[in-house]
Amino acid sequence: MWVEKYRPTKLADLVNQKDIVGSLSVLLKNPQEMPHFLFSGSAGIGKTTAAICISHEILGEHWRDFTLELNASDERGINMVRERVKKFSRFAGLDTEIPFKIIILDEA
């Protein structure tokens, strides 16, 4: 899809989000101490894109292997979400030095 193909992959590429990008960029300097995030706001302002950019910047080329994106409104209840998250968190992944995974719950 065109939107996915041209979606920004770096926070610096987000448009009209200067303050948010600045705050998130400071946190990206030490990803091991990064807190959990909750992005809220109107549709189409870049919440999911910002989360994906964070994943790209922290995980680099392995971002797809260590990121789970779920549209919580599409899933069949909280139990389905729990099962997918549990399965993903148990996955050992590649032989890398990446100590964590990122879960994006869209439309939660």
Tell me: the pLDDT tens digits for 55-103? Answer: 999 999 989 989 999 887 776 778 888 889 899 988 766 666 777 889 9
**Is-contact 84 96, C-beta < 8 A?**
no
Percent of the chain with pLDDT strictly greater than 70: 94
- For residue 68, the model assigns a pLDDT of 92
Range of the domain at 73: 2-106
CATH number, domain containing residue 33:
3.40.50.300
What is the model's pLDDT at position 22?
Answer: 92
Domain tally, the chain:
1
Per the prediction, the chain carries an average pLDDT of 85
Under a CB-based contact definition with an 8 Å cutoff, are residues 107 and 74 in contact?
yes
Confidence of residue 1 (pLDDT cuts 50, 70, 90): confident
**pLDDT of amino acid 53:** 94
